Structure 1
Amino acid sequence: MKDEQQRAKMWTRATEIVGVFLLSITAVLTAWCGFESSKWGGEMSIAFSQASSARITAASAEGAARDARAFDLTVYGAYVEAVGGGNQELADYISARFTPEFQVAYDAWSADGMVENGPFARPEYVPEGTVEAEEASARADAKFEEALENNARGDRYSLLTVLFALVLFLTAMSQRENPTWVSRTLLGLALVVAVVGIVIMSTFPVII
């Protein structure tokens, strides 16, 4: 009888120690998950902001490219009219004002026998602002994807806080006046869930 009472007291004491330890560790892990979720949420906001800024830059560069193309079209139109009218002096005057981007395409077009409909169809023709627009657009896409990934990371940490909250609940319930098998079951479940949560958390990226 005394042995049974002694074992019961030892079990109760062990349960209390394990429960307190588990509660303490889980509380810290829950706080950590909340911190990481907040940090990744901040990173998401920054990435979204950078994506928006890059979109604006891309739009501005695209506008500059359209204006450059319109200018080249106007100058080339005047050049064609001068050549067609037999005014070579005017044609030379206009051709001297070709933009560098258009001049490269025009020279390549002329060298290939003017096969295409015009210099603007040549791959060499890249109006000023085109490259900048493509780079800014690519940067915006990359930042947008980064923002989505950061959001997903924050969500995963938030879900872990729910998992650790379950550990706290099971541990707290195991400390109540329950039949021994109930306390053991609850505490065992709490330990299993805690281990699973820690393993999952170890696979997540960390930001300080």
Structure 2
Amino acid sequence: QIRGFHAILFVEWAAAVSQENQELEDFLYQRFPPALKTASDAWIATKPLVNPDAPSSPFVMSEYVLEEDDLAEQWQATAEAELAKANQADETSDRYVLLTVLFASVLFFGGIAGKFQSQIIDMAMLVIGSIIFLAGLGILLTFPMQ
């Protein structure tokens, strides 16, 4: 938005210059923000109307520096750091969901263990549930403690 405002102000100033309206030109130039004024002065010094190697506008010059750009970079770095934390938290929550499913299956196998007529099948359900429980417990113990 700031760049847009600066561009509009500069275009209006350039129009006043081309129309040779000195009063409007001075009025607008006095209202240039410091970043635009510095860049415009440097751009005018390159004689853009006669120098084909001059930059196309003051906005592409190194003198045009907005304080907000530095602030935006700082916020971008903060956002990237927070995103990394959020991704780590998401990964941790995914692991806990997996454990929830594993332990729910332990309850399922334990619950159906006594429902069969064959003791071999009942015992197999208990063994399967126990193996899944031990696997889930092993996975749980690998999680970081905080």
Query: Judging changes above 3 Å, is the alpha-carbon distance between structure 1 residues 124 and 205 closer, same or farther for their aligned structure 2 residues?
Result: farther
Q: Cα distance, 1:75 vs. partner?
A: 3.3
Q: Share of identical aligned residues, percent?
A: 31
- Asked if 1 retains the 8 angstrom alpha-carbon contact of 2:36 and 2:64, the reply is yes
Query: Judging changes above 3 Å, is the alpha-carbon distance between structure 1 residues 86 and 67 closer, same or farther for their aligned structure 2 residues?
Result: closer
Residues 1:97 and 2:35 aligned together? no
Could you report, residue by residue, the CA deviation over 1:39-91 in whole angstroms, capped at 9, with x for unpaired residues? xxxxxxxxxxxxxxxxxxxxxxxx3442243234323443x337xx395x875
Task: Tell me the residue number matched to 2:5.
Answer: 67
Q: 1:172 pairs with 108, 111, 121, which one?
A: 111
Computed over aligned residues only, the root mean square deviation of the Cα atoms, in angstroms, reads 4.1
CA distance, structure 1, for counterparts of residue 3 and residue 144 of structure 2: 41
CA distance, structure 1, for counterparts of residue 30 and residue 24 of structure 2: 10
Q: Structure 2: which amino acid aligns with 1:69?
A: A
The 5-angstrom pairing of residues 38-49 of structure 1 reads none
Q: Which has the higher contact order (CA 8 A, sep 6+)?
A: 1
CA distance, structure 2, for counterparts of residue 74 and residue 138 of structure 1: 36
- Asked if 2 retains the 8 angstrom alpha-carbon contact of 1:170 and 1:186, the reply is yes
CA distance, structure 2, for counterparts of residue 134 and residue 187 of structure 1: 58
Q: Cα distance, 1:206 vs. partner?
A: 6.8
- Asked if 2 retains the 8 angstrom alpha-carbon contact of 1:64 and 1:128, the reply is no
More helix by share: 1
CA distance, structure 2, for counterparts of residue 110 and residue 203 of structure 1: 66
Residues 1:124 and 2:63 aligned together? yes
Give the paired residue count. Answer: 140
TM-score scaled by length of structure 2: 0.60
CA distance, structure 1, for counterparts of residue 12 and residue 75 of structure 2: 27
Structure 1 unaligned residues grouped into runs of 5+:
1-62
Q: Cα distance, 1:119 vs. partner?
A: 1.1
Q: Structure 1: which amino acid aligns with 2:58?
A: P
Q: Structure 2: which amino acid aligns with 1:75?
A: W
